């Protein structure tokens, strides 16, 4: 790890008030914020999986220490990855269109910016490393996004998509219950717009490790599989951060919250209120030619 010399410290503090439609905020570009439902951004920060140190060190190592000047995290959310990668670079910027998510970003050593992934406010050929964490599948059309990445990256700069597939519960019956919710209730195996699909993006893309994403250069895939023990309460709060769940609840107003049912079922199986799960974190990277 290199010693930090100077960080940008222009932190977004007084974010503008957001308009809401049925408890959904608007983003900086004026569309509905699918990650800005009431309380969702804080839950995203508190309950989403934590990127393992081994993965963080690997991503940083994609750039030689002598070239670690400028790091940009696109669609940074509340900065779960941004703040872990930032200490390896001399300056770090996190960009997201969600005011709600940026309002939860807490690292004063990172410059947080509200903006579009398709029109970044960075100079041409300025970044040594660009990342997108758990968000590349949202950035369609891909050719338009990668064109912007190509503009901002320096020659031989690195782009890395960091993500994790939907976690697997180790106990078989618990996993069956959760996968039914994920696939049948939320429609994770269906395409957006199909009956029974509550996702606004193609969820199979991320569960197949971005195999169908047309990266502009030779891609390198690396996996980091972890087993984690969580309380059932923590895990079901993670489920509540899923955008498809939030959309389902907002649109249908179910009398019984499906995640409350999951919590009860998991609690009847677990003897101590804990569950064990396996998370397949992965990194898909390429070097700008």
pLDDT tens column, 123-151: 999 999 999 999 999 999 999 999 999 99
**Average pLDDT of the chain?**
89
pLDDT tens digit string along 32-43?
776 765 677 788
The pLDDT assigned to 1 comes to: 32
Q: Give the residue ranges of DSSP H helices in the chain.
A: 40-47, 53-61, 82-85, 99-102, 142-152, 172-180, 203-207, 232-239, 243-252, 258-269
Residue 234's pLDDT band, with cuts at 50, 70 and 90, is very high
**How is residue 122 written in tokens?**
């960075």
Element (H, E) at 61: helix 53-61
Domain 20-164+282-287 class? alpha beta
CATH 3.40.50.150 domain range(s) in the chain? 20-164+282-287
């Amino acid at each position: 790890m290199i010693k930090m010399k100077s960080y940008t410290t222009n932190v977004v503090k007084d974010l503008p008030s957001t308009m809401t439609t049925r408890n959904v905020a608007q983003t900086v570009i004026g569309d509905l914020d699918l990650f800005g439902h009431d309380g969702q951004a804080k839950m995203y920060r508190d309950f989403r999986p934590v990127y393992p140190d081994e993965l963080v060190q690997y991503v940083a190592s994609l750039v030689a220490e002598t070239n670690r000047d400028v790091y940009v995290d696109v669609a940074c959310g509340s900065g779960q990855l941004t703040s872990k990668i930032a200490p390896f670079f001399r300056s770090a910027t996190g960009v997201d269109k969600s005011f709600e998510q940026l309002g939860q970003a807490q690292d004063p050593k990172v410059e947080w910016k509200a903006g579009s992934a398709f029109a970044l406010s960075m100079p041409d050929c300025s970044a040594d490393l660009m990342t997108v964490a758990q968000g590349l599948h949202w950035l369609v059309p891909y050719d338009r996004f990668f064109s912007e990445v190509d503009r901002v990256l320096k020659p031989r700069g690195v782009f890395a998509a960091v993500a994790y597939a939907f976690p697997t519960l180790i106990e078989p019956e618990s996993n069956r219950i959760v996968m039914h919710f994920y696939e049948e209730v939320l429609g994770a195996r269906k395409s957006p717009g199909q009956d029974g699909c509550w996702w606004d993006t193609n969820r199979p893309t991320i569960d197949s490790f971005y195999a169908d994403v047309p990266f502009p250069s030779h891609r390198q895939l690396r996996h980091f599989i972890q087993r984690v023990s969580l309380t059932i309460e923590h895990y079901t709060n993670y489920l509540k951060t899923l955008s498809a769940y939030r959309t389902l609840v907002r649109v249908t107003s179910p009398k019984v919250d499906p995640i409350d049912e999951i919590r009860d079922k998991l609690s009847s199986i677990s003897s101590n209120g804990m569950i064990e799960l396996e998370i397949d974190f992965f990194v898909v990277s390429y070097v700008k030619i």
